[in-house]
Amino acid sequence: MTVKTLDILVQRSTNPRIETLDQNNLQFGKVFSDHMFVADYKDGQWDNLKIMPYGSLEFDPANSMMHYGQSIFEGLKAFRAEDGRVLVFRPDMNAKRLNTSAERMCMAQLPEEIFLEGLQALLEIDKDWIPTTPGSSMYIRPFMFATDNFLGVRPSETYRFMIIASPSGSYYSKPVNVKIETTYSRAAMGGTGSAKAAGNYAAALYPAKLAQEEGFDQLIWTDAKEHKYIEEAGTMNVMFVIGDQLITSPLTSTILPGVTRDSVLTLAKSWGVDVVERAISVDEVIEAATKGTLKEAFGVGTAATIAHINSIGLEDDKYVLPAIESRELSNRIYNYMEDLKRGRIEDSFGWNMSI
Ligand SMILES: *Cc1c(COP(=O)(O)O)cnc(C)c1O
pLDDT in tens, 17-40: 999 999 988 988 999 999 999 999
Residues 212 and 107 reside in one and the same domain = no
Give residue 291's pLDDT.
97
User: CA–CA separation, 24 vs 20, rounded Å?
Assistant: 12
- Mean pLDDT value of segment 219-240: 97
Instruction: Mark which of 170, 187, 217 sits at the end of a domain.
Output: 170
User: Within this chain, do residues 28 and 156 fall inside the same structural domain, yes or no?
Assistant: yes
Half-sphere exposure of 312 (CA within 13 A, CB side): 30
- Tally of structural domains, the chain: 2
Kindly state the average pLDDT of the residues 89-113.
Answer: 98
Q: What does the pLDDT look like over 173-205, one tens digit per residue?
A: 789 999 999 999 999 999 999 999 999 999 999
- Pairwise pLDDT comparison (2 vs 28), residue with the higher score: 28
> Which of 140, 194, 256 gets mutated to test ligand 1 (max ligand atoms within 8 A of its CB)?
256
Closest residue by CA, ligand 1 atom 5: 258
Do both 109 and 135 map to the same domain?
yes
Same domain as 215, residue 159: no
354 within domain boundaries: no
**Residues 110, 208 within the same domain:** no
What is the predicted pLDDT for the residue at 4? Answer: 55
- The set of protein residues with a Cβ atom below 6 angstroms from ligand 1 is 75, 196, 232, 234-237, 256, 258-261, 301-302
User: Is the same domain home to 298 and 231?
Assistant: yes
How far is residue 345 CA from its own chain's centroid?
A: 23
What integer best gives the mean pLDDT of the chain? 96
Distance of CA 247 to the CA centre of its chain: 20
Query: What is the CATH number for 150?
Result: 3.30.470.10
Q: Quick check: is 72 in a domain? A: yes
Write down which residue in 153, 170, 187 finishes a domain.
170
What is the model's pLDDT at position 172? 65
Q: Are residues 219 and 321 in the same domain?
A: yes
Separation between Cα atoms, residue 269 and residue 207, nearest integer Å: 35
Check whether 1 has a pLDDT greater than 50: no
**Domain membership flag for residue 353:** no
Q: Which residues pair with 320 in a beta bridge?
A: 311
Q: Which of 150, 162, 191 is CA-nearest to residue 33?
A: 162
On whether both 190 and 158 belong to a single domain, the answer is: no
Q: 9 CA to middle of ligand 1, Å?
A: 31
Residue whose CB lies within 8 A of the most ligand 1 atoms, among 205, 235, 333, 334, for a mutation test: 235
**In terms of domains, do 21 and 50 share one?**
yes
CA angle 213, 219, 225 (to 5 degrees): 120
| Residue to probe by mutation, ligand 1, list 88, 92, 196, 262, most atoms within 8 Å of CB | 196
- Dist. CA 258 → ligand 1 center (Å): 5
Residue 77 lies in a domain: yes
Q: Is the pLDDT of residue 249 over 80?
A: yes
Domain boundary among 170, 200, 220: 170
Distance of alpha carbon 102 from alpha carbon 157, whole angstroms? 13
> Is the model's pLDDT at 2 over the cut of 60?
no
Are both 195 and 254 inside the same structural domain? yes
Predicted pLDDT of residue 137 = 96
**Domain membership flag for residue 348:** no
Residue type, 338: E
Residue 350 lies in a domain: no
What is the reported pLDDT for 3? 46
Is 247 part of a structural domain of the chain?
yes
If one compares 145 and 1, the residue with the highest pLDDT of the two is 145
C-alpha 193 – ligand 1 centre gap (Å): 11
Q: How many Å is the Cα radius of gyration of the chain?
A: 21
Q: In terms of residue numbers, what domain contains 23?
A: 9-170
CA angle, 160 then 165 then 169, to 5°: 150
In a domain, 211, yes or no: yes
Asked if residue 319 and residue 230 are part of one domain, the reply reads yes
pLDDT at 142 exceeding the cut of 70 = yes
For the segment 46-61, the average pLDDT, to the nearest whole number, is 97
- pLDDT tens-place string over residues 156-177: 999 999 999 999 987 767 899 9
For the entire predicted model, the pTM comes to 0.96
φ/ψ bin of 98: left (φ > 0), alpha (ψ from -120 to 50), beta (otherwise): alpha
Which CATH number is 312's domain given? Answer: 3.20.10.10
Question: b/e per residue, 202-212, with b = 16+ CB within 10 A?
Answer: ebbeebbeebe
- Domain identity same for 16 and 113: yes
